[in-house]
């Protein structure tokens, strides 16, 4: 209730433009100055608050996501700063609620998406996954909802602008890359490090990575290498870079623009953006070496090629990448490479359906418990010494990989609508999973 009230009051104050201070002293002073005007203002405020409450009645507790309605502009703030705005079940639910509501709202024209604190979104909350490891399909709902939402964000009907200041990793970057405008800063950090903790490249990234120049996508998926703001723009993963000192002013200007006209929005952003000049040592200047190594057919061949290239003069930068690969889960590496390679010939919806299958099989430990072991080593015990099973690439069974890539029965797949008229169909609550009894039955040890 407190979250709803704060949202409604903030929204109401924005709309009503009260002529008195909201502090106690300000109200008393204004009351003494003009009782008639104050009475009228309070009446107007209560009326606006009631209207806002009615409009927001279908959106529960906004604690993890804040929403503002400012005439034709809508602002979404991911609001888990202490967790670097990591994706949680409540965050996904609320974000989907807002986006659906505002896509259907004829008055809404421009959607601005940002994160509170020093991160945009750090991806999935790994502790949520780890905490559910002993309960069958405990994370199925959040996975289904988020992958389904990833498709809808990429096909959204209103103009969207992501203001990406700080960390934007893994699934969190799926809230940025497909938007019409994704604005980064010199402090933006991007990576898809999933293979390092036994997971795979998900949330549409087997699609996005597969469409990067050359074999940059394979490099990012397997090594978890980071890109900065300039590199994101140069690689086509963001549209503009703006100084972090100007990002707040840019948001204000976009709000004052009060329009979703694409050309007008682009014009405003370009007033603040700067030209991209890559640093000499940027990995994007190492394209020929990356293509040489990561074009190989298998992870084993990629590693051998890296060993050869890293010994050459000027290729010392490959050392950390090679070291990271050798420390990552062998199973996860093979899954990631295969998924990105398949993504080259798949649509976004096909990639998301495939990734849903992979994620559920990984969470169910169908062929390996590496993800839970990786999370344990990274965030629980923090010993950074995962014990992978199997421990080496040569012991990963390709037939088992086939098993987790195998399509589910049609009704068990991620239900992504194929027609525009039904684009908001296929939600989790209407899926077969929502009706499955005992879905949260503890897994026998």
Work out the number of other CB atoms within 10 angstroms of the CB of residue 399: 7
Q: Which of these, 142, 83, 133, 143, lies nearest to 373 by C-alpha position? A: 133
Work out the number of other CB atoms within 10 angstroms of the CB of residue 424: 14
Quick one: which H or E segment has residue 99? Answer: helix 89-103
Q: Which of 115, 123, 170, 171 is catalytic?
A: 171
Residue with tokens 């934007």: 168
How far is Cα of residue 302 from the mean position of the Cα atoms in its chain?
28
- Please check whether residue 343 is in contact with residue 207, taking contact to mean a CB–CB distance below 8 angstroms: yes
**What value, to the nearest 5°, has the Cα angle with vertex 15 and ends 3 and 109?**
90
Q: Which of 62, 109, 125, 194 is catalytic?
A: 194
- Please check whether residue 291 is in contact with residue 214, taking contact to mean a CB–CB distance below 8 angstroms: yes
Residue with tokens 């964000």: 153
171 is catalytic: yes
H helix count then E strand count, the chain: 18, 10
Burial label for 329, CB within 10 Å (0-12, 13-18, 19+), is: buried
Quick one: which H or E segment has residue 90? Answer: helix 89-103
Q: Which of these, 233, 231, 217, lies nearest to 183 by C-alpha position? A: 233
124 is catalytic: yes
> In angstroms, rounded to a whole number, what is the distance separating the alpha carbons of residues 117 and 121?
10
Please give the full DSSP string across 130-142, using - where no structure is assigned. HHTTTBTTTTHHH
Q: Which of 69, 202, 251, 370 is catalytic?
A: 202
* Structure token digits, residue 380: 């629980």
194 is catalytic: yes
> In angstroms, rounded to a whole number, what is the distance separating the alpha carbons of residues 331 and 356?
17
Q: Which of 67, 123, 124, 166 is catalytic?
A: 124
Question: Which sequence positions are flagged as catalytic?
Answer: 124, 171, 194, 202
């Amino acid at each position: 209730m407190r979250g709803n009230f704060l949202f409604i009051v903030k929204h109401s104050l924005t709309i009503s433009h009260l002529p008195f201070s909201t502090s106690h002293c300000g109200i008393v002073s204004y009351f003494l100055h003009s009782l008639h005007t104050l009475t009228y203002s309070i009446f107007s405020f209560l009326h606006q608050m009631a209207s806002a409450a009615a409009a927001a009645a279908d959106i529960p507790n906004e604690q993890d996501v804040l929403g503002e309605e400012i005439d034709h502009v809508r602002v979404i703030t991911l609001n888990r700063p202490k967790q670097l705005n990591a994706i949680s079940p409540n965050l996904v639910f609320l974000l989907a609620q807002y986006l659906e509501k505002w896509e259907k709202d004829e008055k809404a024209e421009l959607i601005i998406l940002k994160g509170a604190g020093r991160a945009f979104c750090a991806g999935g909350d790994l502790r949520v996954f780890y905490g559910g490891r002993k309960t069958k399909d405990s994370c199925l709902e959040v996975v289904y909802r988020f992958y389904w939402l990833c498709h809808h964000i990429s096909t959204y009907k209103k103009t969207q602008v992501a203001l990406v200041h700080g960390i934007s990793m893994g699934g969190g970057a799926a809230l940025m890359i497909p938007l019409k405008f994704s604005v980064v800063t010199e402090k933006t950090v991007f990576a898809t490090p999933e293979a390092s903790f036994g997971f795979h490249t998900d949330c549409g990234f087997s699609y996005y990575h597969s469409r990067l120049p050359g074999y940059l996508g394979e490099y990012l998926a397997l090594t978890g290498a980071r890109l900065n703001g300039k590199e994101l723009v140069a690689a086509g993963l963001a549209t503009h870079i703006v100084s972090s000192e100007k990002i707040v002013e840019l948001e204000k200007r976009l709000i004052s623009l009060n329009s979703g006209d694409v050309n007008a929005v682009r014009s405003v952003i370009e007033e603040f953006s700067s030209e991209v000049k890559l640093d000499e040592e940027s990995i994007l200047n190492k394209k020929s070496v990356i293509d040489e190594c990561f074009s190989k057919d298998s992870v084993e061949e990629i590693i051998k090629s890296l060993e050869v290239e890293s010994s050459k003069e000027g290729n010392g930068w490959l050392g950390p990448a090679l070291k990271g690969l050798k420390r990552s889960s062998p199973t996860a590496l093979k899954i990631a490479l295969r998924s990105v390679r398949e993504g080259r010939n798949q649509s976004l919806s096909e990639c998301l359906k495939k990734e849903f299958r992979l994620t559920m099989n990984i969470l169910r430990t169908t062929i390996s418990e590496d993800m839970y072991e990786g999370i344990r080593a990274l965030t629980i015990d923090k010993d950074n010494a995962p014990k992978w099973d199997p421990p080496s690439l040569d012991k990963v069974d390709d037939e088992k990989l086939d098993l987790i890539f195998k399509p589910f029965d049609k009704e068990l797949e991620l239900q992504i609508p194929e027609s525009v008229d039904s684009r908001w169909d296929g939600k989790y609550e209407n899926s077969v999973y929502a009706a499955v009894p005992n879905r949260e039955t503890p897994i026998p040890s």
